[in-house]
Amino acid sequence: MTARKKAQVKMESIIVVSRKGHDAGRRYLVAAEIGGDFILLVDGRYRTVEKPKLKRLKHVKYAGTCALDVKSATDADIRKALAAAQNK
């Protein structure tokens, strides 16, 4: 799926893996989409709900979905959801 097609899909609650940067290989949950090319990422540990990471859409890879509502979730909920998705 290309970056353009991903931008048309609802981005919240999608699990992605960083492909570029110092955090390459780390799993994140998409918190929001900013414009068409940027997304906000949280992992509940290093990138909390209060301080999400801004990253280009082309620098992440789709890794699955999650039933968690990111807007009302706590950092602990996000960590549990990412751990459960990784163990599947």
Q: Which CATH class is domain 3-71?
A: mainly beta
In this predicted structure, the answer to whether residue 69 has a pLDDT above a threshold of 60 is yes
* pLDDT (average), residues 53-79: 92
34 has which bridge partners? 38
DSSP secondary-structure letter at 11? -
**Would you list the domain boundaries of the chain?**
3-71
Comparing 45 with 86, which gets the higher pLDDT? 45
pTM: 0.83
Amino acid type, 51? K
Residue identified by tokens 């699990």 is 15
| Per-residue confidence (pLDDT) for residue 18, from 0 to 100 | 96
Question: pLDDT tens-digit profile of 11-60?
Answer: 678 999 999 999 999 999 999 999 889 999 999 999 999 999 999 999 99
Banded pLDDT at 9 (limits 50, 70, 90): low
